[in-house]
Chain A
Amino acid sequence: MSEPVTMLETPIKIEYEFTAGLAQSRYLKGISEGKFLGQRCPKCTKVYVPPRGSCPTDGVPTTDEVELGNTGIVTTYCVVNVPFQGQSIEIPYICAQILLDGANIAFMGLIQEVPTAEIRMGMRVEAVWVDKKDLGPTMASVKYFRPSGEPDAAYETFSEYL
């Protein structure tokens, strides 16, 4: 008689048709045109990117669309040295929170073209996009961010967003 059964494998597979909704669709359309579109809260006037159609502070619809710049500030970062399954970027690499100019919330982005030892809070960065013909409604349209060469931002200008 063979060994007793002690494990049961239960594979699951569920297929969805994901619909992005209005705010995220507009954001991704903007991305496919090479620009970042945020939305402004009519109450507190903060600009959220990527937008979800609602102000997370006031709980009201964000009805005003705002085109943001291509540059921003590294508010904080980490250097990834750990390999993991499915990793597509060579380690070590820098993962940063980036506050786009004109936005009131930072989002996560990849930083390249800078040695890991030189990354710092306050560094000014710019988005590097794929070739125009390859742009699409996907975050893969933004290849990464890199130093813009501008002087670092003062801590007080982004401390609120940490």
Chain B
Amino acid sequence: MFYFPAMAESDVLRAPHVIEYTYTRSTGPVIGAFLTGLRDGKILGATTPAGRVVVPPTEYDPITSEEVGELVEVGQSGVVRTWSWAAHPLKDQPLDRPFAWALVLLDGADTAMLHVVDAAGPEAMSSGMRVTARWRPAGERIGHMKDIECFVAEGAS
């Protein structure tokens, strides 16, 4: 038996390790309808028993857990509830140039949706500003949140 000598930092082994996997998730009827809508250039919300419209829709009211009713189309424009400025976009984020994250309350909706706003700079952003969806070309849409490329200030398009 012997006590082994202390190891220097350089003696500890390191190796790159990558975990990569594609999950294929079944959507169910509500999320599936929303994603189908995105592919077809529409934004759908779910109506709760209290008459609120949840966007993006869940199978349940996010507050009361009650089952939602029919899906309705909401506006493609809305109001920025809050925003943050990503000066250094990270891997896989919707835009590769500086942009704003935003919670957007679409016209006709009662809950806000997370997406991004393409703006020249933080000075072009404000809470309460109106924005409108900019879509990917129809042929590139697959039923995915990124079918909406981003939002832009209303009238700017």
Chain A interface residues (CB < 8 Å from chain B): 1-2, 4-22, 24-26, 28-29, 40, 63-66, 137
Contacts and interface: CB of A to CB of B under 8 A. Distances in A.
Interface stretch (B23-31, B95-103, B124-132): B23-31
Contacts, number: 96
B33 A4 contact: yes
B1 interface: yes
Contact of B13 (A11, A20, A65): A20
A14 B17 CA distance: 8
A25 B13 contact: yes
B24 A7 contact: yes
Contacts of A24: 13
A120 to B, nearest CB: 34
Contacts of A28: 13
10 contacts: A5-B32, A8-B24, A8-B144, A9-B22, A12-B20, A13-B19, A13-B20, A18-B16, A26-B4, A64-B3
Interface in B1-18: 1-4, 7, 11-18
The 6 A-B pairs with the shortest beta carbon distances in the complex, nearest first, are: A5-B143, A18-B17, A16-B17, A5-B35, A11-B22, A13-B20
B24 A1 contact: no
Of the four ranges (under 10, 10 to 19, 20 to 34, 35 or more), the interface on chain B belongs to 20 to 34
Q: B13, B15, B24 — which one has the most chain A CB atoms within 10 A of its CB?
A: B13
A18 B18 CA distance: 9
A16 B18 CA distance: 6
A9 B3 CA distance: 52
A6 B40 CA distance: 14
A64 B23 CA distance: 44
A110 to B, nearest CB: 22
Given A17-B17, A19-B13, A5 B39 contact: yes
A32 to B, nearest CB: 10
Given A9-B22, A13-B18, A14-B19, A1 B7 contact: no
A137 B13 CA distance: 8
Contacts of A17: 14-17
Contact of A12 (B2, B15, B21): B21
A16 B143 contact: no
B82 interface: no
A146 to B, nearest CB: 28
A5 B142 CA distance: 8
Given A1-B40, A15-B16, 17 more contacts: A5-B32, A8-B35, A9-B24, A9-B25, A11-B21, A11-B22, A14-B18, A14-B20, A17-B16, A19-B13, A25-B7, A25-B12, A26-B4, A29-B11, A64-B1, A64-B3, A64-B4
